[in-house]
Amino acid sequence: MEWLKEYWWLIGIVLMVGILMNVYKDLKRIDHKKYMDNRPDLPPHRDFNDKWDDEDDWPKKK
């Protein structure tokens, strides 16, 4: 168990490299062209900026 105390960081590096390799392989499997052809439509944009300032702060001209 002495070697585990001295080389714990090496085990961590090997673990991180393994995780990164799996992420890279999974990302290469994604077909982005097929997704872009069949992507869902976005819902219409709602703009509520006109409702935040209903009251008029400027003095009214007569």
Q: Would you call 50 helix, strand, or coil by DSSP? A: helix
DSSP element (H, E) containing 41: none
Q: What tokens appear for 29 in the block? A: 């499997």
- Quote the longest CA-to-CA distance of the chain: 90
Cα(59)–Cα(56) distance, integer angstroms: 8
pTM attached to this predicted model: 0.53
Tens digit of pLDDT at every position of the chain (62 positions): 888 889 999 999 999 999 999 999 999 999 989 988 998 887 777 666 666 665 666 677 76
In the chain, the amino acid numbered 1 is: M
In the chain, the amino acid numbered 46 is: R
